[in-house]
Structure formats: C-alpha cells, structure tokens
Structure 1
Amino acid sequence: MLTHHTLQFLTYLQENNNREWFQSNKKDYEKLKEEFEALCQDILSGLTLFQEDLINTKVKDCIFRINRDVRFSKDKSPYKNYISAAFGPGGRHSNKIDFYIQIQPDATILGGGMWAPTPTQLASFRQEIDYNPAMLKGIIEDESFNKYFNEIHGEKVKKMPKGYPIDHPDIELLKYKQLFFVHRYKNDEVFNPTFANEIVTGCKILKPYLDYVNHLFFEENN
C-alpha cells in the first residue's frame, strides 16, 4: 500500500531535481521504494491469477530505475519525477506488450498497447484490421473496455497508409502508428488500501487488447 509519503517525495523531487538533494533525502527514497515494491508485489500476485506467463516473474525485474538517461537529452535532470513498472514475462524487458503503471502526483496511470512498433509489426497490425476489423473493434469498443480505458494515445498518419483505399471503412484505425490506452487515477485512489486490486482489475480489462497485439507481433509468424 502506498502512503502520502510517496507522492510527497515525488513532489519534492520535482522541485529539487539534483543529486545533492536526492542524497540528503536518501532515507525517504528508500521508504518510497519499499512502499512501491510492496504495491508491485500485490499487483503481480493478482496478475498471475489470469496471466500464467508471469508466475516466475520477480518484482525487482518489473520496476524501472528512477535515474534518467540524460545522454541524448537536453534536460539534464538526473531523476524521473515518477516511479514506474512494467509487468511482462520476466519483467520490464520482456520485449512484449506489457501492463505499465506510473505513479506520479496528479498523473498516476495504468496503460498498455502498441507504442513503438517496427515497420513489420505496424504492417501486420494494419493488415489484420483490413482482413478482420471486427476482432480489434470488438475489444476496444466493448462497453467495459471503453469505459475504463477512455483515453487513447497514439500518432496518426495524415494520409491513408500506402496500399489502402482512401474510402476504407476503417480508415481511422488504419491511420494509427501507435495505439496505447490509458486509465488515470486520482491521488486519493492511489492511497486507497484497495489500489493494487483496482490496478489488477484494470489489467484484466486491458488483457484482451494486449493479447491481440502480442499475438500479431510475436506469435503469428512462429
């Protein structure tokens, strides 16, 4: 369970994003880590009830480092102002489409989906929409899915992708280069003792879409 301490620390970190402040508040960061690891363990335990390939996954392998990679960034702030984890087989580096959570003051989210597909993966995604649009639409237009994941992230091409007619009935879906769904949580929801269960519930709703994309990207050609 997360406490107010977690979001408070992240708020202070955003205001004091430097190594000197971070080192002088290291004990508070360690407390944040403990809380977040416990939350992630509860989430992972819940996910294994319907996601068997997570059974041997360790929490430590799901959690991202708070340190930023600043090598190619103009922003040289050394730390992220959020904590995050991805739940996939073996952890955050599963190379599959995973359940992603990010804890941040006033911006906590659960999300997942197609974010950075290869050209081959994007071509498979569009081809499947062209051949069988009902399968994807049946998932993302489902009432419970649409109600929970009502925020869509993803760039679209301005013109119709090459090889498809401009009057294609699913033109808007075909234009997506990314299709990532998000649910946002208020701060008081994050502190709720049932928050881990709420995340698991959201993941269960999201699972059919992740299964759809993972099948297209990683199983269809095996």
Structure 2
Amino acid sequence: MENDNYTVWDIVADIWTKPKVVFAYIKEYDNTNLYIPILILLGISTSLSEAEIEVSNSDASLVIILLKSIFIGGLMGWIGYFIYCYLLEILGGFIGGKAKFDKIIRMFAYASIPSICTLIFTLQLILFFGTDAFLSDFESVDRSTLDLVIYYVCMFGQLALAIWTMVLLVIGISYFQNFTILKGILNLILPILLIGIPIMLIAFLLTINS
C-alpha cells in the first residue's frame, strides 16, 4: 500500500468493508495521533449510552446529560480505552501475541468508528424525544406508532453498528497478534475478565457483610 495516497477519509471509508487494508496501513505507516480524538468521541458515545440507563432514575436535564457525556465521558472514556488496550498487549503476550501497544490502540480506535456513528441515532432520538430518549422504560409510556417506529429503528441501527464494531475488533486483534479468530476473541475477553471478576468478588463480599 502506498502511504502518500491514503488519507484519513480513506481510512474512515475502508474500515467498514476493507478492514484489513486499514490494519495493514496502520501496521506499516500510521504513527499519527488521530486515534486520540477518535477515542474521545467513542467515550462520549459510550457515556450517552450509559445515560440511557441512568436518566430514568435521575432528575438530570438534557443539558447536564450532554455536558457529562462530552466532558466526563470524553475524558474518562479514552483513559479507559488506553488501559484496555494496554491489557490487550500484556495478556495477548501470554497467549502468543506479538503486537505492541501503539498499534493495538490505533487498531482499536479505527475499528470503533462504527460505534461512534451511533451518535447519529442518539442525536436523532434527542431531536424527536428530548430527555425521554434516555428513558430505559421508553416503551411503557403511551406512545404513538410513529414514535415507536422511530425509536426502534434508531435502536436497531445502534445495535447493528455495535455488532459491526465487535466484528472489526476481532478481525483487528487477530490480524495484529497473528491469532486465529477464536484466539482473537479470547484476547478481547481476557482484559474484561481480569477487571470484572475482582469487581464482582468485591461487590459480593460487600453484599455479604452488609
């Protein structure tokens, strides 16, 4: 692949259908910091998704939800992704992986572009429903047929983009670590288990002692 003719917009376009072309470019040429704003946007997108769960039990206004997602989600999100990608490198090494952090973090960012696009559907929901877009029990309130159609179309779109992100992550980590697909999936799961199991044990112990 020629570095000179491959632009940011080529990456954004190709990651959807030609991910290995993008990953080959990252492996050979990409040393830019473009991944940082991508991860910040991903943090904002993830924070808005979490707000969809929390706001039904909160009196937060739309402005507060958006500010929280932009500032807290954008900041803490990319820090969390840095930690996750570092664990991908370390734990992947234990099962034979050779990829370095600087390549893994870039792969993770570019593979997450579809998830960032879920913001399009989130903004559409906000435009139509305001703070109601974040209610976890949205369907339980009396809604028109059109409202429900709009809601479910957006939900399906978000789900499809999230699934495609997972597919790209599996392809990406398998490519860089030179893993099989199953081993790539294991590599993606190991950091979650490493962080999640201790948290679950602590929560269980606190429940017993309370």
Higher strand share: 1
Higher helix share: 2
TM norm structure 2: 0.30
The higher-RCO structure (CA 8 Å, 6+ apart) is 2
